[in-house]
Amino acid sequence: MPRPGSKRPSARDGAPNQKKGSRPTGKRPQKASGPRGRGTSSRAPSRSGLIEGRRAVAEALEAGIPLIRALVAEGEGGTAELAGRLAQAGVPVEPVPRARLDALSSHGAHQGVMVEARPFAYASLADVIAAAGAGPALVVVLDHVTDEGNFGAIVRSAEVVGAAGVIVANARAARVGVGAYKTSAGAVLHVPVAQVPNVAKAVRQLQEAGFWAGAATEHARQSAWAAPLDGRIALVMGSEGEGVSRIVREACDFECRLPQRGSIESLNVAQAATVLCYEWLRRTFPEVGGDGAHEE
């Protein structure tokens, strides 16, 4: 049951009055289409504009992200095919010493290739709500998650389960940069990522759009298995050190925690988000993956 004093969004503000077991059913919500990352160019390489690693670079190329140039390690045989594709797409390819890529890399996993992209174009909260449609949908809200690797991993999990979008704060929070491209395996190119000035206000706007907001916190009384994690859900994950802030928790309709038998305090935020995203998918779309097949 939700924590005392909380309730699902009701007919107030035009939100549908839904009770557990009576939520609308439907197909996986359609996500916003089109390339991400459009913006103005810059000749000076910046870490925030660099995408590294063969898979992430290939994803960027396939998604049509405007690329300023490619940096390829001299003598790196494994990058020849990808370098050829980049050149065919009209991206200038510049051979550079591997040491230069090492210096630019966020964690040394560039695999001999990087591309410089124009600044990432974030979606708006309205874009995410539109992508969610009117039926069951998942939106992951990050309350000041600061580690770019965690952020990218969460976006990857959100995209895999078919989330309509990811909401992040526009200050004191991780942004879409090299680390996020890498750990998301290109997922930032395929799911809307919106920046907002106020996370609690964004939660309330999602509630007005018919979402039931749930905060994941180790201090919650009910476990995730008992929480209403199905249907139209805004899943709120907190920062690595502080968790979900008090003001954001108070804006949510319920709280939940992951059960555990071990002795350490909790899972990392990216791992916890993955578990909860899959719990939402399991309950909301039980027909997906039952026989190992992917169904839309």
Average pLDDT of the segment spanning 266-276: 92
Q: Do 213 and 152 contact (CB within 8 A), yes or no?
A: no
CATH class of 12-31+122-284: alpha beta
Lowest mean pLDDT among 35-49, 87-101, 127-141: 35-49
pLDDT over 60 at 48, yes or no: no
Give me the pLDDT at residue 47, please.
59
For 112, which DSSP code? T
**At 108, which amino acid appears?**
G
Same fold, 12-31+122-284 and 47-117: no
Given pLDDT bands bounded at 50, 70 and 90, which one contains residue 46?
A: low
Rounded CA separation 252/6 (Å): 8
pLDDT in tens, 99-149: 999 999 877 789 999 999 888 889 999 999 999 999 999 999 999 999 989
Average pLDDT of the segment spanning 238-251: 93
Give me the pLDDT at residue 109, please.
83
At residue 234, the 3 state secondary structure works out as strand
pLDDT over 90 at 208, yes or no: yes
Q: What is the percent of the chain with per-residue pLDDT over 70, rounded to a whole number? A: 80
Rounded CA separation 274/261 (Å): 19
Average pLDDT of the segment spanning 64-77: 86
Give me the pLDDT at residue 178, please.
67
DSSP 208-224: HTTPEEEEE-TT-SSBT
As a 3-state breakdown, the chain gives helix, strand, coil percent values, each rounded to 5, of 35, 20, 50
Average pLDDT of the segment spanning 163-179: 90
Given pLDDT bands bounded at 50, 70 and 90, which one contains residue 1?
A: very low
* Top-confidence residue, 16 or 245: 245
Q: Residue ranges of the domains in the chain? A: 12-31+122-284, 47-117
pLDDT over 60 at 20, yes or no: no
Given pLDDT bands bounded at 50, 70 and 90, which one contains residue 228?
A: very high
CATH number attached to the domain at 47-117: 3.30.1330.30
Given pLDDT bands bounded at 50, 70 and 90, which one contains residue 233?
A: very high
Average pLDDT of the segment spanning 54-70: 85
pLDDT over 60 at 238, yes or no: yes
Average pLDDT of the segment spanning 256-276: 89
Give me the pLDDT at residue 16, please.
38
- What average pLDDT is seen over the chain? 82
Q: Do 195 and 170 contact (CB within 8 A), yes or no?
A: yes
